[in-house]
Amino acid sequence: MKPRTHFRHTIDHLDALGEIIETIAGVDDFEIAETTWLAAVKRWPRERFMLRQGARVVRDSRRARAVK
C-alpha cells in the first residue's frame, strides 16, 4: 500500500521568516487538525505553527488570538 501524501489540512512548523521548516501533520478531519495545531502551540509556545486547508491559512500562531 502506498502512503498518502496529500491531506485536506496540514500543520506546519515555521521559522522566523515564515518559511516552512517541516510539516508536523497531515489530517483530513478539521477537528483533529485544529486539536493537533493547538497542542503544538501549547507545547512549544515560542515556536510558530500554521494550520492550512490547502493554500488557505486557517490558524496561525503568529496572529493575535481573540479571547472567547
pTM for the predicted model, two decimal places: 0.81
- How far from chain centre, in Å, is Cα 23? 8
- What are 20-50's pLDDT values in tens digits? 999 999 999 999 999 999 999 999 999 999 9
Listed residue (48, 51, 44) closest to 61, CA to CA: 48
Q: Report the pLDDT averaged over residues 48-55.
A: 94
Domain segments of the chain as ranges:
9-60
